[in-house]
Structure 1
Amino acid sequence: MRLDVCHASQPHAFAYSSGNAKHGGAIDPTRYVVVTIGSAGDLFPFLALALRLHARGHRVSFLAPEPHGPWVRAAGLPFTGLPVDEGVLHDPDLWHPTRGFGVVWRATRPAMACVVPFVAALPADERCVLLVHPLALPEADLCRVVHPGVKIAAAYLAPANLMTVHDPLMIGPWRVPAWVPLAARRAFWRWVGRRFIDPVALADVNAARAAHGLAPAASLMDWIATVPDLSLTLFPDWFAPTHPDWPQPLVRGDFPLFDPNAGAQLAPELAAFLHAGPPPLVFTHGTGNTQAAAYFRHAHAAAARLGRRAVFLTPHRDQVPADLPDTMLWQDYVPLSALLPHATALIHHGGIGTTAEALRAGTPQLVVPLAHDQFDNGARVTALGVGASLPAARLNEDRLVRALDALLAAPGLDARTRAVTARFAPEAGVDRMCVALESLR
């Protein structure tokens, strides 16, 4: 089923915050149009940035998948819902290491088609900055035609979203050895572009460019990095140092985590469970994963063998074994910021939002990656010494038991998780990125 929307809730009438005087008195007439796609983990960092821009006295318009509307509206921002094809969550290729990009690209094109008309409808004399997910960059570039003078900032959620030839270089679950020359790595990326990216996306991009009187792009991967006027990393340099081939100008942020239920109490059932025994293992494989039944089956068996209590997080109850003992509990959704301080470890898919929440909480994590940026995130967690990684394709009960045993017995684990938590500086990172966005003229 496709949810077809593309409408705004008062898209252009948005009052400034009464706190404008705190930021110098004069009102900057810039409008920031924030565009993102994906799950809640993709939404929340953009929402944190948007809210800080609004608090600094700016106009902000937020475009995101329609199901995210309640979160954005509750935060006090005007929201434009983008169409969602809910069937994509059931496509087995969504979590495939090489075919997953094609599924995501095709699923997001109807949503991205809303961006250009939205910007075209803005007052012609209004200064505008687009703050966009990388998959919105082709449409953001078209906005330069319909709204001359618009500036574009790309916000990269995870290190793997930025192409590099430098270490660590993960190709799905495989790490490229350090001895492989840079020239060979560049040749490899050119092959990836020709084999997996351009056949999926380039025809769509160039058709839209031709319709707007623009020259075609020769290669999506080479061209798309040239589109932004500014690039932001929504992760810190201690998680991924800057590589010399990343786009410039580049501003490094921190994890701009947003909690939609800050201060909320745990559900009584969950609170009682946590109170009844030792801290549990927490298992999740992403809120959007409808194909995780085998994962939860292995999780159930491994927790039982280890004699550990467990919490299973998924909105899809049928993925979790039906008959759970008193030592195990299913929950459809719990804010990780509230749950992880009570957990022994988090076992998850490696989405960047989930990874960051575990790092902030100081919770050891076992990453079980499927596709996209998840393998790289798992490698970085391992390198920090606060977790381990076990590819989902290799997952079974025995391997899960061994991986968890080794992780929880690792010497110095508590000290390393505390050290990482101490490095979090999300407020400073968000302010640094806002200052950079305000400098775009």
Structure 2
Amino acid sequence: MHVILATVGTDGDVFPHLGLGSVLRERGHRVTLAAPETYRARAEALGLAFASLVTTAEVGRMLAHPDLFHPLRSGRMMARWGAPMIPRQYELLADLAREPGTVLVTNPGLLAGRLVQEKVRCPTASLLLQPGLVPSSTAPPKMTGGLTIPSWFPRPLRELYWLALDVAGYWLVARSLNSVRATLKLAPVRRLFRWWWSPDLVIGLFPNWYAEPQPDWPPQLRLAGFGRFDGTRNDLPDGVRAFCTAGSPPVAFTLGTGMTRARGFFRTAVAACESLGARGLLLTKYPEQLPARLPPTIRHCGFAPFRALLPLCGAVVHHGGIGTTAAALESGCPQLVLPLAWDQPDNAARVARLGVGASLGSRQRTSGHMARALARLVTPAVRARCAEVAAKARGENGLEVAAGWLEEFARAKF
């Protein structure tokens, strides 16, 4: 079997595909990762073939855009950024998918993947990383920008809400998509956020105790569990483990690998640590965001595999990305979530409901707010609850489960 794993985005979006590719390759399959050019080296290091869906320059423009993590404008920004790429991404994936015995696994947001499924008739599965993307009137996800469906909305109004979201999707990106579809002699798409799921198979990389399946979820959606892969099989960087074990467990701070505008966040993190008398570890690939001088109790790290790092930390303060959230759950590490956009508010709400963390609103981001919230989290009661949840989270690796389902899927198709 030849498997094409197609996605765009940053580490949290790409690492699950890399991990799945590694598992599939170990099972004897040939794998091609189709992703941004910036992930070529990681793919090739795992023995995967690579195809570039986004250039390095295009990635740079995305990361530099001020609206990338805006709670309301981020969707429009990404639609304008990504829509012009659809034709060339379709051509690249279509060429790869025409090989006999090929299965395509695609991120729902990569619209070219669904075009390939329809036009080339390649067996295709959607890989869903976060439950916040699943529209549900039974149990609505928490939405960004304060746009969550109110609990008092009757069912008809909830259905109208999702219709309105599809209307917005139509004006933002479906018109561009339909221009490409017309050239391929495919009918236009009206309800984008219903269409972007593969009708054959959707694999959710999260467990049912994190997001209970709802009766109005897509019937082809199956939950595999969290996928355990941090982008590398190496241990922690030199000196990081020694720092973590040299005193009280530090608090880790990150806003994700795609965040290039976090100067205020890291200043606040340092101040919160000083207020608490805590040690801190600041995680960012962009050290220019850090204060010019860090106290000896605070250290910077460019990258660390979270499943190796977080068991050594007293807590983690993060943006609510599903990758960081899952790693913290598995590590038994209390979480303080500062959601910005996308699925992050939904993950923050789920962390709070599980009793393993808390979140701060957009007007609660001072060092005082952060210090007080952390003080409430680093308690024996919260740690005990984190340990309970971690025992569940450390179950079967969702990547192994997903690989098995893809093998079954291929056998049924070929």
Instruction: Tell me the TM-score normalised to structure 2 length.
Output: 0.92
Q: Structure 1: which 5+ runs fail to align?
A: 1-29
Q: Percent identity?
A: 37
Query: Within 5 A, what are the aligned runs for 1:58-77?
Result: 58-77=29-48
1:424 paired residue among 393, 399, 409: 393
2:134 aligns with 162
Which AA in structure 2 matches 1:424? Answer: A
Within 1, Cα distance between the matches of 2:51 and 2:113? 16
Is the Cα–Cα contact under 8 Å of residues 67 and 73 in structure 2 kept in the other structure? yes
Deviations 1:346-396 (A, max 9, x none): 000111111111111110010001000000000001111000011345311
1:244 aligns with 215
2:191 aligns with 219
Verify: 1:205 aligned to 2:177, yes or no. yes
1:414 aligns with 383
1:20 aligns with none
Q: Alpha carbons of 1:38 and 1:393: their partners in 2 closer, same or farther (altered >3 Å)?
A: farther
Alignment RMSD, CA only?
Answer: 2.1
Is the Cα–Cα contact under 8 Å of residues 52 and 430 in structure 1 kept in the other structure? yes
1:14 aligns with none
Tell me the secondary structure at the aligned position of residue 216 of structure 2: coil
Higher mean C-alpha displacement, 149-158 vs 388-397 = 388-397
Q: Structure 2: which 5+ runs fail to align?
A: none
| Alpha-carbon distance, 1:287 to partner | 1.4
| Alpha-carbon distance, 1:250 to partner | 1.8
Query: Within 5 A, what are the aligned runs for 1:183-332?
Result: 183-194=156-167, 196-225=168-197, 227-268=198-239, 270-332=240-302
Query: Within 5 A, what are the aligned runs for 1:389-408?
Result: 389-408=359-378
Is the Cα–Cα contact under 8 Å of residues 348 and 366 in structure 1 kept in the other structure? yes
Deviations 1:203-242 (A, max 9, x none): 11100110000111122123334x4311010111111011
| Alpha-carbon distance, 1:58 to partner | 2.1
Query: Within 5 A, what are the aligned runs for 1:129-168?
Result: 129-136=103-110, 138-144=111-117, 146-147=119-120, 149-168=121-140
Q: Alpha carbons of 1:332 and 1:412: their partners in 2 closer, same or farther (altered >3 Å)?
A: same
Is the Cα–Cα contact under 8 Å of residues 256 and 284 in structure 2 kept in the other structure? yes
Tell me the secondary structure at the aligned position of residue 62 of structure 1: strand
Q: Alpha carbons of 1:110 and 1:393: their partners in 2 closer, same or farther (altered >3 Å)?
A: farther
1:19 aligns with none
| Alpha-carbon distance, 1:176 to partner | 4.0
Deviations 1:392-431 (A, max 9, x none): 453112211221122223x621221111111125645333
1:353 paired residue among 306, 310, 323: 323
| Alpha-carbon distance, 1:40 to partner | 1.0
1:94 aligns with 68
Within 2, Cα distance between the matches of 1:369 and 1:276? 31
Is the Cα–Cα contact under 8 Å of residues 296 and 319 in structure 1 kept in the other structure? yes
2:102 aligns with 128
1:26 aligns with none
Is the Cα–Cα contact under 8 Å of residues 257 and 284 in structure 2 kept in the other structure? yes
Query: Within 5 A, what are the aligned runs for 1:329-340?
Result: 329-340=299-310
Q: Alpha carbons of 1:427 and 1:110: their partners in 2 closer, same or farther (altered >3 Å)?
A: farther
Q: Alpha carbons of 1:184 and 1:118: their partners in 2 closer, same or farther (altered >3 Å)?
A: same
Is the Cα–Cα contact under 8 Å of residues 126 and 203 in structure 2 kept in the other structure? yes
Verify: 1:56 aligned to 2:27, yes or no. yes
Q: Alpha carbons of 1:132 and 1:283: their partners in 2 closer, same or farther (altered >3 Å)?
A: same
Verify: 1:364 aligned to 2:334, yes or no. yes
Number of residue pairs matched by the alignment? 406
2:14 aligns with 43
Which AA in structure 2 matches 1:99? Answer: R
1:383 aligns with 353
Verify: 1:106 aligned to 2:80, yes or no. yes
| Alpha-carbon distance, 1:62 to partner | 1.1
| Alpha-carbon distance, 1:146 to partner | 4.9
| Alpha-carbon distance, 1:144 to partner | 3.9
Instruction: Tell me the TM-score normalised to structure 1 length.
Output: 0.86
Deviations 1:143-188 (A, max 9, x none): 24653x3111111110112111232531326454433222211111
Within 2, Cα distance between the matches of 1:254 and 1:78? 26
Is the Cα–Cα contact under 8 Å of residues 65 and 111 in structure 1 kept in the other structure? no
